[in-house]
Each structure stands twice: as structure tokens, then as C-alpha cells.
Amino acid sequence: MNQLSDRKYIIIGVFILVGLAYISRLFYIQVINDSYKLDARNQAFRYKTEFPNRGYIYDRNNKLLVYNEAAYDLMVLPKEIKNIDTTDLCQLLGITKEDFLKKMKKATQSPNSPRKESIFEKQLSPTDYASLQERLYRFPGFWVQSRTLRKYPQKIAAHMLGYIGEADKEMTEKDPYYNEGDYIGISGVEKTYEKALRGKKGMHIIMKDVNNRDMGSYMNGMYDTLAIPGKPLKSTLDADLQLYGEKLMQNKIGSVVAIDPQTGEVLALITSPSYDPNLLVGRERAKNFAKLYLDTIAVPLFNRATMASYPPGSTFKLVMALIGQQEGVLTPETRYQCVGGYPPLGGHPKCHNHSSPLALYDAIGHSCNSYFSYVFKSIIENKKYHDTYKAYQAWRDIALSFNIGRKTGSDLANELRGNIPSIAYYDKVFGKGSWHASTVISLGIGQNELLVTPLQNANIVAIIANKGWYYTPHIIKAIGNNENDTTLARFKVKHYTMITDTAIYGNVIRGMSDAVQSGTAAALKIDGIDFCAKTGTAENPHGKDHSVFVAFAPKGNPRIAIAVLVENAGFGAAWAGPIASLMMEKYLTGKIKRPDLEKRMFDGDLIHNVKPSPPKKKTR
């Protein structure tokens, strides 16, 4: 009997063993294994995303540039479709039965699945939505999700504003905030300020019972998140000036950048040809995009203002004049010979007809190629260095401090760097030690391997107007009405070039003023406004020269610095000059007193092979 009572230990042992096994199993399925939690969420919850309103964008005078319009996506969860009248639905949506089957197939097959919701029909118009809404209850498995579409009341600044698109797989992997199909800024301000504009998606957790009925929000919405609307942006752009500039640039290829030198604020950023930003919105987006994308002649999607770099041409002579003085090899009295070209190299680079020799102001005013070739030579052969490399490096360093040859650091998406050739580059091309000033002489007149974007060119003018400093050019001045947002802090830092003596700038400004008073830009005077300018004709190895013009105004208290480039338009004063002059007049006075000039610019068509009427006076 005693032996039998020992059996209780075995029995209790079995009981405890089973208990332990069960508790371990519970630990596994409740604590270790997450798949059951996932399954539970998938079947008992529906996650309803609440898309926030994307932030509006205003110009500097609070004119609306971008707003939102409601659109409605018809969503589908195929496994929940039960007994629906397909014909009825097709009729409501205005699609054929084949379309319906095709869409259903798309919704059920990879990457979608019957258990995954997807968009069935994109961006229904408010009217379609209204008629569908009433009858939606008859189509279980379908529901409508409201989205917002961008609208552009002014139809301007397409490149600068950029566009939004749907996030693809790559984007969702990079940033898990996005789900496939979410809207995301692809270019322009929409891209740069995506985080501020998008706001934050909200999530509504709705409980479902086994029959897929809504059972209210989960835990009284404890885990719900509210959508936070995107912040409005205030742009530095002047919508009127932008619109005016775009009209001036119509039917021309090129770019205009206007900057307020005192703040670095971009007043106008024009790329031509442009397009109506409304084209890249809505159901027609893909079609329109393809059309714009395939236009390889005008390339309307190409943002020339920041992404095209051109040889600066004669406008670079301003920088040469500054560096020459800084390096002590040039004074306003320095005179150089011109023989219709640069004498030491047998008249190359060539020059045009003017009196000789000239001193600095006149050399700027008349844009003498020979003069600035001498200046370049004197900088590179500077006795102070006794070494081409050291002198070249000094020249290049000063040039770089004008925020060229590198990205300006602006808030414009996809900026190019431009180029100031490095020593290493020339060593590679000519061999180490076997190049000197004469080899690369055309750098002095802004040619050779020099490349500058229109934005950088405008910034150079702003620096000269300010006599040595600049704020990084930027396009947004306030985020959510806050001008002191930390993202904008970098635009409040004053940058100085390596040339700090304001007298040096004064000499160059005088030359620029002379160019307007009696030089190459004499035909472009604005009534009542003194301005300073420099024409340029950028040699273009691929065709007719580009017409370049830089200027700032008014001379005493600069409020606008502008760089204009019109491709294949010849002399700087022919097309770029008038456009710059008209824009400055428009910005500073609000009206135009030269309707003839304005009309000629409006009508000028340099794309469609219409011969423009030649300028009255041949200038450079």
C-alpha cells in the first residue's frame, strides 16, 4: 500500500508537466511569435488612413500659387466583394465590363491581392463621386477614399514648384512613412519641402466583426492618430514678375533668374519653354507627362535655371576684374592694347571694334576681350607667386568664393554645380607643368571649360551689387507662417567672398554703370532708374551663341539682381538685355513705359524658325 501511495508523485508530476508544457506553449504563441498578433490585426482591424491636406504655396505677396482640390479614389478589397451588380457599377463609373474585369484582375494579382486593398479607379471627379456615393452601399468591398490634387491658379513657375507623384516601391523602402500610391513630392519645392508640405498621415483603427461589419473605433480611438495638415509655404517668388518674365521668354529657349540681393530671395525663376503645371495633375497626368517628356526639342521638363550650365561668357569679366584688383595686378587705370583681339596670341581671342587702349571702366563697358585676356594673364603670371599653379589656385579659390563651381546650397531641387576647372583637370588634359596662362587664356573671358548655371550667374550679380556678400539664394521664406523655421536658418547666414574691399566692387560697378550709360547696354536704359549691367555673348560650340545679360538695379540701393540667358539668340543686348531691362522696370515701377520693346520681346519666336525683327542698334 505504501508503495502505491508513492504513485501520487508520478501523477502530480504528469499534472505539472502538462501545466508547464501548456504555459510554455502559451509563452510561445503569446509572447514570442508575432504572427498571431498580425493575423488578429489583419482580420479584426481595418486601418483607415486619413490623408492630410497638403500645404498651400503662396508667393511673396500672399498670392496663391498652389492649392488643393478634392478628388476621390474608389478603393476595393476584392475578398469582401459580395453579390454586386457589376453592370450597375460599370455604368456608374462609365467603364465597360472588360475594363471592370481588367481592373479586378489588377486588384487581385500581385503585387495586390484579394486580401489587400488597392485603388480601383483613380481620382473621380466630385460629380462622379456624388452620384456614386449614394449607391455605394450596394457594392460591399468598395469604398471611397478622399485625396487631394494640386491645382495651380496662376499656371506659372512649373519647374520651381515641381510636381508630386505616387510613391513607388523604392521610395516606400527608403522611407517607411510612405505606402505605395501615397503622394510624394518628386521635384521642385514639392520635393525639397516634402516633409513640411505633406503634414502627417492619420490612422484610424476600425474594428470589424467576423462578418466585416464596422464595430467602431478600437479602444475608443486610443491608438488612432489624427492627420496633421501640411504647412503652408510662403515663397520668395513675385508671381507678377514671374508671369511677366514667362511671357517675355515665351517661344525662346533659356532662363531668367532674379534675386533680391539684400536677402538672397529669388524673385523670379524662369525656365523656357515651360508648361502648365496643371497638366501634371489628375487622371491625365501620365499622358501629359509622356507628351512633355517626349518633346526632345523644347524639353519642357528640363529646369534650365538650375540644371543647365553654360559658359558665362563676357559676364564673367566682372569676376575677372574683381580678382585682378584683389590680386594687385589691376587698377582702374590699367590699360591694355586691343587689336581686334588679344595681341600676344595673334589676335586671339578675337574682339570687336572699339577704341584702344582702354582702361578698366571702359573695358567693362565695352566688354573688351583682349583686356580681360591680359588681366587673366597678369593674374596667373603674378610675380607674387612665381608659380603658375599657385597663382591659378589663388584665382580659382577666389572665383569659388563667389558660390560658383559648386551647388549654391539653395532650396531648389536638382541643382547643378557648374564648373571651374581644377589644376588636376588641366594636368590631365595638357600634362603636368605644360600649361600656363596662354593655354587657358579664354578663361579670362568666361569661356573654355567654365560653366555657370543661370542661378549662379544671378548670384554673382547680387554679390557685386552688395559689394562682397550674399545670402544663399532661396525660394521659400516662411514655413507655416514662420520665417524663423530652422530649415530656413541657413538662408539667414551672410556669406562673404574672399574679396572684402568694397572699393574693388565700386570700380566694377562703375564699369557696369558705364555699360548702360554709353557701352554695350546703352539701348536698354530704363527711364528714371539707374542700373548696372554687363552683356555677354556666350560662345556655343553647338550652334549660334547664347545671348547673356546680367544686371542689378537701382544702382544706389540694389533691390533686384538678374541674369538672363537666351539660347542661340546671339548678342547679349539683342534678347537677354531687353528682357532683363523690362523685368527690372516691371519689378521696380510696376509698369512698362516701353511697349514697343515689350511687344517685340513677347512676339519674338526663336524656336519655331520665325525670323525675329533685328534689333535696331547693333550692340554688344
Partner 1 sequence: MRQKSNTSIFYNIDWVTVFLYLILIIMGWMNIYSAVYNEDHNAITDMSQKYGKQMLWIGSSLLLALIILIIDENFYTAFAYFIFGAFLLANIAVPFLGREVKGSRSWFRFGDFGIQPAEFMKFAANLALAKFLSNQNIKIADYKNTFITLLIIGIPLIIIKVLQDETGLAIVFVAFIFSLYREGLSVNYLLLGFLAIVLFVLALLINNMYLFIIIATLCTVAFLFVKRNRKNLFLIATAGLIACSMVKGTSTVYEHMEPHQKVRIDVLLGRGTVNLKKEGYNVNQAKIAIGSGGFWGKGYLDGTQTKYDFVPEQDTDFIFCTVGEEWGFVGSSLVIILELFLIIRIVFMSERQRSPFSRIYGYGVASILFFHLTINVGMTIGLAPVIGIPLPFFSYGGSSLWSFTILLFIFIKLDSHRLQILR
Binding-site ranges for partner 1 (CB under 8 A): 4-5, 7-8, 10-12, 14-16, 18-19, 21-23, 25-27, 29-31, 33, 35-37, 39-41, 43-45, 207-211, 215, 218-219
Q: Between residues 11 and 294, which has the closer beta carbon with respect to partner 1?
A: 11
CA distance 148 to 503: 54
**Minimum distance of partner 1 from residue 80's CB (angstroms):** 14
Return the C-alpha cell found at 444: 579670362
Q: Between residues 223 and 496, which has the closer beta carbon with respect to partner 1?
A: 223
Q: Between residues 28 and 496, which has the closer beta carbon with respect to partner 1?
A: 28
Sign of CA dihedral 273, 595, 241, 516: positive
Q: Is the peptide bond before 300 cis (omega within 30 degrees of 0)?
A: no
CA distance 456 to 443: 17
**Minimum distance of partner 1 from residue 4's CB (angstroms):** 5
Q: Between residues 39 and 483, which has the closer beta carbon with respect to partner 1?
A: 39
**Minimum distance of partner 1 from residue 35's CB (angstroms):** 7
What one-character-per-residue DSSP string does 109-128 give? STTS-TTS-EEEEEEE-HHH
Return the C-alpha cell found at 265: 530671395
**Minimum distance of partner 1 from residue 306's CB (angstroms):** 52
Amino acid code (one letter) for 49: T
Residues recorded for the chain: 620
Q: Between residues 31 and 489, which has the closer beta carbon with respect to partner 1?
A: 31
**Minimum distance of partner 1 from residue 107's CB (angstroms):** 20
Q: Between residues 215 and 610, which has the closer beta carbon with respect to partner 1?
A: 215
CB atoms within 10 A of CB 595: 9
Angle CA 583–562–155, to nearest 5? 55
Hey, which residues does 325 pair with through a beta bridge? none
Q: Between residues 17 and 286, which has the closer beta carbon with respect to partner 1?
A: 17
CA distance 554 to 584: 9
Cα 25 to the chain's mean position, in Å? 58
**Minimum distance of partner 1 from residue 41's CB (angstroms):** 7
Name the residue among 411, 157, 146 with its Cα closest to residue 278: 157
**Minimum distance of partner 1 from residue 204's CB (angstroms):** 15
- Residue 432's φ and ψ, nearest 5 degrees, are -65, 125
Q: Between residues 21 and 429, which has the closer beta carbon with respect to partner 1?
A: 21
Return the C-alpha cell found at 427: 594636368
Return the C-alpha cell found at 209: 466583426
Helix ranges restricted to H, 327-466: 360-366, 369-380, 388-400, 423-430, 454-466
**Minimum distance of partner 1 from residue 36's CB (angstroms):** 2
